[in-house]
Amino acid sequence: MRAAVYRRFGGPEVVRVAEVSPPALGRDDVLIRVHASTVSAADHRARSRNVPRGLWLLAAVGIGAFRPRHRVLGMDVAGVVEAVGAGVTKFEPGDEVIAMLGGQFGGHAEYARVPQDGAITAKPRNMTFEEAVTLVFGGITARAFLNRVPLGPGTTVLVNGASGAVGTAAVQLAKHAGAHVTGVCSAANAELVTSLGADRVIDYATADFTGEATTYDVVMDCVGNAEFERVEGSLNPGGALLLVIADLRGALLASWRTRRSGKLVTASVGSYRADDLAHLVRLAESGHYRAVIDRTFDLTDIAQAHSYVDTGRKKGNVVLSGLDRPGPTAAHAVDPDPSLVRD
- On the question of pLDDT at 60 being above 70, the answer is no
Higher pLDDT, 56 or 222: 222
Assigned superfamily of 138-266:
NAD(P)-binding Rossmann-like Domain (3.40.50.720)
Among 3-7, 17-21, 247-251, which is the least confidently predicted range? 247-251
Q: Is 321 helix (H, G, I), strand (E, B) or coil?
A: strand
Confidence of residue 292 (pLDDT cuts 50, 70, 90): very high
Tell me, yes or no, if the two domains 2-136+293-340 and 138-266 fold the same way. Answer: no
Which residues lie closer than 8 Å to 125 by C-beta, 6 or more apart?
285
Segment 12-18 shows an average pLDDT of 97
On the CB side of 320, CA atoms within 13 Å amount to 31
Q: What percent of the chain has pLDDT over 70?
A: 92
Contact 75, 102 (CB under 8 A): yes
Nearest CA to 68 out of 59, 77, 76 is that of: 59
The model's confidence at residue 64, banded by pLDDT at 50, 70 and 90, is confident
CATH fit for domain 2-136+293-340, picks 3.30.930.10, 3.90.180.10, 2.60.120.380, 3.40.50.80 = 3.90.180.10
Q: Is 283 helix (H, G, I), strand (E, B) or coil?
A: helix
**pLDDT value of residue 55:** 62
Query: Residue type for 125, please?
Result: R
Domain ranges of the chain: 2-136+293-340, 138-266
Looking from the CA of 43 toward its CB, the CA atoms found within 13 Å total 37
Specify the pTM: 0.91
Using CA atoms, how far apart are residues 136 and 166, in angstroms rounded to an integer? 10
Q: Please give the share of the chain, as a percent, with pLDDT higher than 90.
A: 81
CA 118 to CA 276: how far, in whole Å?
A: 11
pLDDT (tens digit, 9 = 90+) per residue, 78-116?
999 999 999 999 999 999 999 999 989 999 999 999 999
Residue 146 near residue 253, CB atoms below 8 Å:
no
Q: Mean pLDDT of all residues in the chain?
A: 92
- Distances, alpha carbon 330 to alpha carbons 19, 90, 145, 333, in Å: 9, 37, 40, 5
User: Does 332 have pLDDT greater than 60?
Assistant: no
* pLDDT exceeds cutoff 60 at 285: yes
